[in-house]
Structure 1
Amino acid sequence: MSPTGSIRSSSRRDLGIAVVVFGWITIMLVTDPSSGLGEQWTYGAATWFVLLWLLLAETPLVRTQVAVVVAFATAVEYTFSLGLKVYVYRLDNIPAFVPPAHGLVYLCALALGRSPVVHRWRVPLVAVALSAGAAYALWGLLGTDRVDVLGAFWFGCLVAFLTRGRSRLLYVGLFAIVTYLELLGTWLGVWEWQRFDPTGLIEIGNPPSGVAGGYGWFDLAALTVAPVLLRAWERLTQIGRPER
């Protein structure tokens, strides 16, 4: 295959991943309000299947990154939702589809960030994400009945990721998918953010305007921890093997 053909194929696959993730998350969120625990477990199993299917063609590094995101995000879910009640799900639980969905969100952002089409429009897309995020954060502070302080703080994190991060286009993709799912999920009542944090001092929007900046810490964990884990695993698997 020619270099041009290879680039086109890669771009189609990356954009295809994004379409699958956006579509699957939409299906889950739209159907969840009328679902019980049994249906949530079914959606959870199906979401794991979609995630593992998409990972079949990925490198060991990407698979490890996704595993780190799922582990880190699940710990955060149980701490800040079930424990501290910063946000609560409709059935006061962690729906079974949430942990694998975090993996899908990361994979979607990664696929968009590495897509040749997105790279071609790198500068304007970063500018659009920053401008849209700033407008949303300002609206969260001044335009609603909640003064969304947490959202503004997280937007500051997003600015840092977009301007100083090692994988800036990944955060462009993250801004798109996370803003979409948070707006849709809260609008449908799948989850709700409480008005204040546990201290009662920090007001929170529903959803926080810059929530993609909060998700960005999951991605930062994946980008920094996964290579270390993969190297450790490779060294471990080499132990006991005869030298050639």
Structure 2
Amino acid sequence: MNLINMLKAFLKTLIPLFSLIAGGLYLDSVFFLDQFNHGQEVATFLLWAIFFTLFYFLPSRYKEQMFYAVLIGVAGEYLFSLGLKMYQYRLENIPHYIPPGHAIIYIAAVYFNKNTAIKLHQKLIEKIFLAIIIVFWTYFLLFKNDVFGFLLTAVVLYILHNKPRERLFYYTMYLVVAYLELVGTFYKCWEWPPYAFRFIEFLPSANPPSGISLFYFGLDLGCLWLYKKRHTVAWNRMKNVRYIKLTKPL
């Protein structure tokens, strides 16, 4: 029964998310361009429609975090893509479907990790996810000379080593972002240069680099920080309740 519930958690969150990534990015791909010249506009309509549907049904706490994810996503895209030239989109713009996409990815990972069945098997899932990350990371280093991605992943794993509460969430984000990047670069929706930031030649990079989820962590932490600043009293109350539960004698 526990296994069935765990599979249901995947089917309700990550599987639909992976399907949306594959289908949504296909609309903006060079493959779809041969059939229809306005795929990016269709993808934009689809992603915003899904965003507002989720926004309507979610509790107010998550609505607020989705809003923050869009704001931080816009700022991050302009900084890293147009400003620092870390990567470039197919039309050399920031597609309008990208900001709601950030928010949808964020909230799907949140709901996956708050599922009861996932929490019950957290340690097992962490080990499985970590094994996949290590295989992915090693393959990209050995066969794609992805030194940049190797260093980014090393930083991710180092940070999470002493963060047991957040570990599964960020492992989840790592794998979701890795899948997103593989699909997006395969479809040629965007591309990464052969070196980190285009000019750091001692840091060769794959297209995509394996550990790019490190930069997505800024979005996650930013959403949480903004929420805490807006709800300081409620956040401190929750922390006190959690502390009491952890220190309560058995």
CA deviations over 1:33-75 (Å, ceiling 9, x no partner): 2347743223212211101212323222222222222211221
Question: What SS does structure 2 have at the residue aligned with 1:56?
Answer: helix
In 1: Cα distance, 2:9 partner to 2:56 partner: 13
Q: TM-score, normalised on structure 1?
A: 0.80
For 2:218, give the aligned amino acid: W
> How much has 1:12 moved relative to structure 2?
5.5
Gaps of 5+ in 1: 1-7, 233-244
Question: What SS does structure 1 have at the residue aligned with 2:28?
Answer: helix
For 2:152, give the aligned amino acid: W
For 2:195, give the aligned amino acid: F
The number of residues matched between the two structures is 223
The answer on whether the counterparts of 1:25 and 1:181 sit within 8 Å (CA) in structure 2 is yes
1:30 lines up with 2:26 in the alignment: yes
The answer on whether the counterparts of 2:141 and 2:150 sit within 8 Å (CA) in structure 1 is yes
> How much has 1:182 moved relative to structure 2?
0.9
The answer on whether the counterparts of 1:114 and 1:169 sit within 8 Å (CA) in structure 2 is no
> How much has 1:176 moved relative to structure 2?
2.8
CA deviations over 1:10-42 (Å, ceiling 9, x no partner): x96884243332222211112212347743223
For 1:155, give the aligned amino acid: T
In 1: Cα distance, 2:104 partner to 2:225 partner: 19
114-123 or 163-172, which moves further after superposition?
A: 163-172
2:53 equivalent in structure 1: 53
1:151 lines up with 2:155 in the alignment: no
1:163-242 maps to which residues of 2 (within 5 A)?
163-164=162-163, 166-198=165-197, 199-201=199-201, 202-230=203-231
The answer on whether the counterparts of 1:162 and 1:169 sit within 8 Å (CA) in structure 2 is no
CA RMSD of aligned residues (A): 2.7
The answer on whether the counterparts of 2:25 and 2:43 sit within 8 Å (CA) in structure 1 is no
1:138 equivalent in structure 2: 138
CA deviations over 1:179-225 (Å, ceiling 9, x no partner): 11111111121111111133424322211112223322211222222
The answer on whether the counterparts of 1:14 and 1:111 sit within 8 Å (CA) in structure 2 is no
User: Could you say if the C-alpha distance between residues 39 and 143 of structure 1 is closer, same or farther in structure 2, counting changes exceeding 3 Å?
Assistant: closer
1:18 lines up with 2:14 in the alignment: yes
> How much has 1:114 moved relative to structure 2?
0.9
Question: What SS does structure 2 have at the residue aligned with 1:174?
Answer: helix
User: Could you say if the C-alpha distance between residues 19 and 131 of structure 1 is closer, same or farther in structure 2, counting changes exceeding 3 Å?
Assistant: closer
> How much has 1:162 moved relative to structure 2?
6.3
Q: TM-score, normalised on structure 2?
A: 0.78
For 1:212, give the aligned amino acid: S
User: Could you say if the C-alpha distance between residues 172 and 105 of structure 1 is closer, same or farther in structure 2, counting changes exceeding 3 Å?
Assistant: same
1:76 lines up with 2:76 in the alignment: yes
In 2: Cα distance, 1:119 partner to 1:97 partner: 31
User: Could you say if the C-alpha distance between residues 61 and 31 of structure 1 is closer, same or farther in structure 2, counting changes exceeding 3 Å?
Assistant: same
1:112 equivalent in structure 2: 112
User: Could you say if the C-alpha distance between residues 119 and 166 of structure 1 is closer, same or farther in structure 2, counting changes exceeding 3 Å?
Assistant: closer
The percent of aligned pairs where both chains have the same amino acid is 27
User: Could you say if the C-alpha distance between residues 57 and 13 of structure 1 is closer, same or farther in structure 2, counting changes exceeding 3 Å?
Assistant: farther
User: Could you say if the C-alpha distance between residues 165 and 65 of structure 1 is closer, same or farther in structure 2, counting changes exceeding 3 Å?
Assistant: farther
For 1:217, give the aligned amino acid: G
Question: What SS does structure 2 have at the residue aligned with 1:208?
Answer: coil
